Amino acid sequence: MERKTNMEKLCAAGRYVAAFVRWGLLAALTGLAGGGVGTLFHKAVEYATGVRTAHSWILYLLPIGGLVIVGLYHLCKTPENFGTNQILDAIRSEERIPLALAPLIFISTVITHLCGGSAGREGAALQLGGTIGSQIGGLFHLDEKDQHILIMCGMSAVFAALFGTPLTATFFAMEVISIGVIYYAGLVPCIISSLTAYGVSVFFGAEPVRFSLSHVPVPTVWSIFQVIGLSALCALLSIVFCLAMHKTHHYLQKWLPNSYLRAFCGGIAIILLTLLLGNTAYNGAGMDVITAAIGGSARPEAFALKILFTAVTIGAGFKGGEIVPTFFIGSTFGCVAGSLLGLDPGFGAAVGLIALFCGVVNSPIASIILSIELFGAQGLVLFAISCGVSFMLSGYYGLYSSQKIMYSKLRAEYINIHAK
């Protein structure tokens, strides 16, 4: 009997080792594919941004770019609203991610950045990565549950390649799907996938996103209250941003049901707004504005204008993502509001960036890790406080309507609702 028990233990250990090796190989393969595609996408967006910056007249092609994007989705018989929400749904269901989504979101996001739409890159990262993971899973005939893990691996891989934040990418992919439930079965595969993709991106010269803070306050009673105050304001701003994104999309669809006309008019609106302001600070991702804010300089109206530009761009049907615009909005708002609360403007910008990110994606663990990967660990205590405050006070709003909030933010209660 003892011998049989030992044999069973040995067999169980063998199954764990076999699973580790199996997932290590699958995750590494997904990381290689995701890293390659993510690096290519990163360079394509950078090149498109450089071309637009050098030739300002390209902005006037934005309405035509919108028509091209809608036409591509119709040509490939893919609904133009198929995006990150469907990727999140696929992880919880048997829904398959069409292969056509990868080239569609790649090309469409590059067109959006080339022509001056206000968008980010993470929406494309999650959709590219989800498609890669789904296709590799199908290639190896994985069952439904294993497919879900490989989709998360793909998401974390392309996210890591684009932003240079492999640990954030790992926990974001596991945390963003169902708030209150972390898919720990994906921990090792997602870490391997994201680190592999990050290595690929660094090998091919993609610069990771990093910022240097000139001043980080020591955690004192006063500095903690300052951070709490700024984070509470960022939680409110996260609700405003989410509502602006959802309501703009809803009303543009209602008022302009024809997707071609909607994209064309959206492009015209962005052109008119740009001409009215007399600058292009709100076109594209706006990484230069984010860098300036963290350096301590931001215009007080910048965050509101970026919300407007992004809501119109995405609502009209252009492609990209909302996370880099979130960085823009959070950093510019934090720079201004933080200085009014007595914080160093650069540190206020950093807190605003992290707190707003946490508020709109409802992922506090990933947000805390993001603060370390972007700014270093010196201000970890204050960043962690800001994430906790923003997460709690942002309510059940979120950028992704398919995101599920499994547990209440206010008490130990199972609620299982969709983000608003």
Structure tokens at 20: 């580790």
Structure tokens at 174: 């596991």
Angle in degrees, CA 115, 34, 20, rounded to 5: 160
CATH number at residue 65: 1.10.3080.10
Phi and psi torsions of 334, nearest 5°: -65, -35
Considering 174, 203, 232, which residue would you say is the last residue of a domain?
Answer: 203
Are 326 and 379 found together in one domain?
Answer: yes
Does a structural domain hold residue 232? Answer: yes
Structure tokens at 283: 């076109």
Are 54 and 149 found together in one domain?
Answer: yes
List 178's β-bridge partners, or say none: 404
Does a structural domain hold residue 40? Answer: yes
- Cα distance between residue 199 and residue 28, in whole Å: 11
Q: What is the DSSP letter of 227?
A: H
Q: What is the DSSP letter of 278?
A: T
Residue type, 160: A
* Predicted local distance difference test score (pLDDT) of residue 95: 73
Does a structural domain hold residue 213? Answer: no
What residues make up the domain containing 23?
A: 2-203
Nearest to 190 by CA among 176, 205, 204: 176
* Predicted local distance difference test score (pLDDT) of residue 78: 82
Number of structural domains (the chain) is 2
Are 178 and 235 found together in one domain?
Answer: no
Considering 147, 171, 203, which residue would you say is the last residue of a domain?
Answer: 203
Residue type, 216: V
Are 163 and 307 found together in one domain?
Answer: no
Are 62 and 185 found together in one domain?
Answer: yes
Structure tokens at 133: 């993971």
The per-residue DSSP string of 279-337 comes to S-TTSS--HHHHHHHHTT---TTHHHHHHHHHHHHHHHT--S-SHHHHHHHHHHHHHHH
Region label for 363, one of left (φ > 0), alpha (ψ between -120 and 50) or beta (otherwise): beta
Query: Which residue reads 């990209």 in tokens?
Result: 320
Tens digits of per-residue pLDDT, 236-285?
A: 999 999 999 999 999 999 999 999 999 999 999 999 999 999 999 999 99
Tens digits of per-residue pLDDT, 170-224?
A: 999 999 988 888 888 899 999 999 999 999 999 998 888 899 999 999 999 999 9
Phi and psi torsions of 417, nearest 5°: -125, 160
Are 188 and 258 found together in one domain?
Answer: no
- Cα distance between residue 128 and residue 139, in whole Å: 17
Are 177 and 231 found together in one domain?
Answer: no
Residue type, 174: M
- Above 60 in pLDDT, residue 4? no
- 289 pLDDT band, cuts 50/70/90, is very high
Handedness of CA 164, 168, 170, 173 (dihedral sign): negative
- Above 70 in pLDDT, residue 3? no
Considering 148, 177, 203, which residue would you say is the last residue of a domain?
Answer: 203
Q: How far is CA 221 from CA 46, 232, 349, 379, in A?
A: 42, 16, 20, 15
Are 226 and 156 found together in one domain?
Answer: no
Determine how β-strand 414-418 pairs with β-strand 404-407.
antiparallel
- Above 60 in pLDDT, residue 98? yes
- Above 70 in pLDDT, residue 1? no
Mean pLDDT throughout 392-399?
Answer: 94
Does a structural domain hold residue 216? Answer: no
Q: How many CB atoms lie within 10 A of CB 184?
A: 8
Does a structural domain hold residue 176? Answer: yes
Rounded CA Rg of the chain? 21
Does a structural domain hold residue 211? Answer: no
List 179's β-bridge partners, or say none: 405
Secondary structure of residue 249 in the 3-state scheme: helix
Residue 185: CB partners within 8 Å, gap ≥ 6?
Answer: 149
Query: Which residue reads 């049901």 in tokens?
Result: 257
Is the full-model pTM beyond 0.85?
yes
Q: What is the DSSP letter of 150?
A: H
Are 270 and 381 found together in one domain?
Answer: yes
Does a structural domain hold residue 214? Answer: no
Are 264 and 405 found together in one domain?
Answer: yes
Are 153 and 277 found together in one domain?
Answer: no
Does a structural domain hold residue 215? Answer: no
Mean pLDDT throughout 153-181?
Answer: 93
Structure tokens at 290: 């984010």
Query: Which residue reads 């302001």 in tokens?
Result: 277
* Predicted local distance difference test score (pLDDT) of residue 414: 84
Q: How far is CA 45 from CA 10, 38, 282, 393, in A?
A: 51, 10, 16, 34
Looking at per-residue pLDDT, the higher value among 39 and 101 belongs to 39
Question: Contact at 8 Å (CB) between 118 and 151?
Answer: no
Average pLDDT, rounded, for the chain = 92
Structure tokens at 6: 């030992």
Question: Contact at 8 Å (CB) between 85 and 361?
Answer: no
Question: Contact at 8 Å (CB) between 398 and 360?
Answer: yes
Are 239 and 174 found together in one domain?
Answer: no
Structure tokens at 170: 């790992």
